[in-house]
Structure 1
């Protein structure tokens, strides 16, 4: 749609406010809204926002970043293709935005621009990326006397009881997503009480990141209509399973490549139908994974989830349908083998900015392709079952156990920091260091309470 068509649709849908949304370095979805009468000019001009917002943290503090203070601003300029009427908010629509400098140039600190930039590098190689996310979240109620959040039910993993318990709210969530053009793949209850998992159909990598934001906004808002709280926090209950945002990704040939329209991760005759190019991609991801998790697992709360034997991944390994590996190569689906080849990154959750997570994953994998990095042998067992000596001999590394350790690794990883660019890398790391400092003196219970409502 062009600007005029969007204005007509907005007025036909009786829209009053249009939210201009973005996801910040803290992984928080933020934005401003314009009245529909000003929509046409705002789509062209954008909405002003202080530069300091990219130094704003998930704990509502301002991290010290040079040039991100009270002086100067950028514009939130919407991607017209992302216009949707929100079925859960009266007379409201939304659009996902890029951060544009006042001179009209994309701002270097914009996560969405970063993902576009990495996609352009991929296109130069005759490739494009598609991605889909497995969204894990909890439904909860709030105890009005204690103020504590409690699981909304006591259902078991994959239990039909759980499906029945939350059938009405889940149906409303799915209907709201469908109304926004988001295709649903799968839904089921997960390991924790009242924990849910929702899988969305794969899309081009930019739209996949946009969809992450739409899913989070929709699930939380619809749940509120049913007197429930939805949380995508990595570890909202210390004694229960954590919630991930597993990334499924594949690379496809473009019209300029020799394998136009083909899934480049598929190669007939190879183990699991997984191609040599795919192996190089995995090799690059494993080489950079200790710094990568600083972006895919972006909160102090994340590292309470990344534990051995918890099926969340704790070691730098890959395997074919090995769900304890950081990277799983899923088995192919009969009848659509070529199109279903992909990788799954397990060490990812919703406290990471999806544009940064997907862009950094691509940058790491692209480094593997360009340098022909072999990933080594796939692991056939839970790597946590090896002794420390066996893991050392096999070159298996423990993933960072704290966000601080992951940030140290990110700062040392020149491939990832150069891909991010100096301003985005500096501001992201400053935001996360600020969050670490904030939680340093907090109890685990205080930490989980803070993360519960924000994600």
Structure 2
């Protein structure tokens, strides 16, 4: 957690030659510009200008000047770059030409949501993610194929599991960049892998997801492979999910609005209540809706205790203060997805929204599920977007960001 002055000292003392300033478009794709160390002090003070009209979902050419301001707390050495003449990365906040936070900056949106949760509810959400991805072979021209790196299945070991060394390399690199992975293993699909993160505050969790995807893509390429985070890379095989685990704790310097009351039922109720309206942001591509409802991905709007077939699961634990949202996939913008979940939780807490009775049945069995009269998640991206466009809740959270 560096300050500006500490970063300036670090750059000088550690022989840093290039500084990558990273930010995100509204789809969550990472962008960056590299500056020299001599420009860093100006970047902290005045920002580094860029053309917003060239960034998806930002501004038109008539108002295209935006400015990147590095967040010193996100400083990390890029360990696969040379150690002589180091390269570092910092995430940035975006401001407009008037010096105001840019309304479509997803990191700013998430920070605003976290502040609202603290101010209005006296808590913060602690987030942990579980992210799945496939590893595919390249052809003789270096182009991705649909040939999986191995044919192993859930939690298999070497020699069937060919991804063991790559996952280890990814975990070591994460640690070098200040991120603590919790576990890694082979997943159900051929060539499919999963790496889980330790819990952290919401902004750090989103930053970690962005960094993780960058590292996985980089390490796959360096091993002559292609990493695929799409929700359904192979027909008939398991899809890639990004399960989001949430718990809460009292925010520093804040008084919990509910006193000693357990707020988890209201957090659950809020997310359950608004899930249809935010689905297009949790599942943002056409391929997402091929995944939902197949190969153990949720289809029905439901929750259950320890029930992995439900959309929201309350895992077995002594404290009983955690829930897992199982519908999102890795193509989502993690900043926007988590911001929407936080605001849904706020509405649940403030309005004491509770979900219907839990579902204990196996919803992967269509005969059983069809008898329960449960609503389904949107069945296509078009349907999900249509619901979001009509949502006053989505508009109140995202403002000028278009659905």
For normalisation by structure 1, the TM-score amounts to 0.82
Unaligned runs of 5+ in 2: none
Match of 1:104 in 2: 99
1:376 counterpart (343, 349, 356): 356
Could you tell me whether the CA contact under 8 Å between 2:135 and 2:226 is conserved in 1?
yes
Deviation of the 1:236 alpha carbon: 1.9
Map Cα deviations across residues 59-95 of structure 1 (whole Å, 9 max, x no partner).
Answer: xxxxxx8x53354221121211001001123332111
Could you tell me whether the CA contact under 8 Å between 2:122 and 2:250 is conserved in 1?
yes
Judged with a 3 Å threshold, the aligned counterparts in structure 2 of structure 1 residues 107 and 349 are, in CA distance, closer, same or farther, namely: same
| 1-structure distance, mates of 2:137, 2:369 | 42
Map Cα deviations across residues 230-283 of structure 1 (whole Å, 9 max, x no partner).
Answer: 2222122233211111111112112444569xxx99x9xxxxxxx752111111
Could you tell me whether the CA contact under 8 Å between 1:50 and 1:70 is conserved in 2?
no
Deviation of the 1:53 alpha carbon: 4.4
1:153 counterpart (150, 155, 159): 150
Deviation of the 1:162 alpha carbon: 6.3
Deviation of the 1:163 alpha carbon: 7.6
Could you tell me whether the CA contact under 8 Å between 2:43 and 2:68 is conserved in 1?
no
Which of 2-11 and 149-158 deviates more? 2-11
Map Cα deviations across residues 180-202 of structure 1 (whole Å, 9 max, x no partner).
Answer: 11111111110111111101111
Q: Does 2:278 correspond to 1:292?
A: yes
Map Cα deviations across residues 203-247 of structure 1 (whole Å, 9 max, x no partner).
Answer: 110111111111111111122222222222212223321111111
2:222 counterpart (222, 225, 228): 225
- Give the match's secondary structure for 1:366: helix
Alignment of 1:400-419 (within 5 A): 400-419=378-397
Could you tell me whether the CA contact under 8 Å between 1:158 and 1:188 is conserved in 2?
yes
Map Cα deviations across residues 103-156 of structure 1 (whole Å, 9 max, x no partner).
Answer: 211011111111111111111121111101101111121122685242111111
Q: Does 2:377 correspond to 1:399?
A: yes
Deviation of the 1:387 alpha carbon: 6.1
Map Cα deviations across residues 326-349 of structure 1 (whole Å, 9 max, x no partner).
Answer: 1111111xxxx33x7311111111
Could you tell me whether the CA contact under 8 Å between 1:86 and 1:94 is conserved in 2?
yes
Could you tell me whether the CA contact under 8 Å between 1:249 and 1:342 is conserved in 2?
yes
| 2-structure distance, mates of 1:16, 1:365 | 43
| 2-structure distance, mates of 1:13, 1:222 | 24
Which of 109-118 and 86-95 deviates more? 86-95
Alignment of 1:3-402 (within 5 A): 3-56=4-57, 67-69=59-61, 71-90=63-82, 91-124=86-119, 125-144=121-140, 148-161=145-158, 165-258=162-255, 276-308=262-294, 310-332=295-317, 337-338=318-319, 341-384=321-364, 385=366, 390-392=371-373, 396-402=374-380
Could you tell me whether the CA contact under 8 Å between 1:163 and 1:189 is conserved in 2?
no
What's the RMSD between the two structures over aligned residues?
2.3
Deviation of the 1:403 alpha carbon: 1.1
| 1-structure distance, mates of 2:102, 2:63 | 15
Map Cα deviations across residues 293-326 of structure 1 (whole Å, 9 max, x no partner).
Answer: 1111111221111115x22211110001111211
Unaligned runs of 5+ in 1: 57-64, 268-274, 430-455
Deviation of the 1:386 alpha carbon: 5.1
- Give the match's secondary structure for 1:300: coil
Bigger share in helix:
1
Judged with a 3 Å threshold, the aligned counterparts in structure 2 of structure 1 residues 283 and 53 are, in CA distance, closer, same or farther, namely: farther
Judged with a 3 Å threshold, the aligned counterparts in structure 2 of structure 1 residues 131 and 37 are, in CA distance, closer, same or farther, namely: same
Aligned length: 396
Could you tell me whether the CA contact under 8 Å between 1:288 and 1:413 is conserved in 2?
no
Judged with a 3 Å threshold, the aligned counterparts in structure 2 of structure 1 residues 24 and 227 are, in CA distance, closer, same or farther, namely: same
Judged with a 3 Å threshold, the aligned counterparts in structure 2 of structure 1 residues 103 and 215 are, in CA distance, closer, same or farther, namely: same
- Give the match's secondary structure for 2:95: strand
| 1-structure distance, mates of 2:165, 2:270 | 43
| 1-structure distance, mates of 2:252, 2:38 | 41
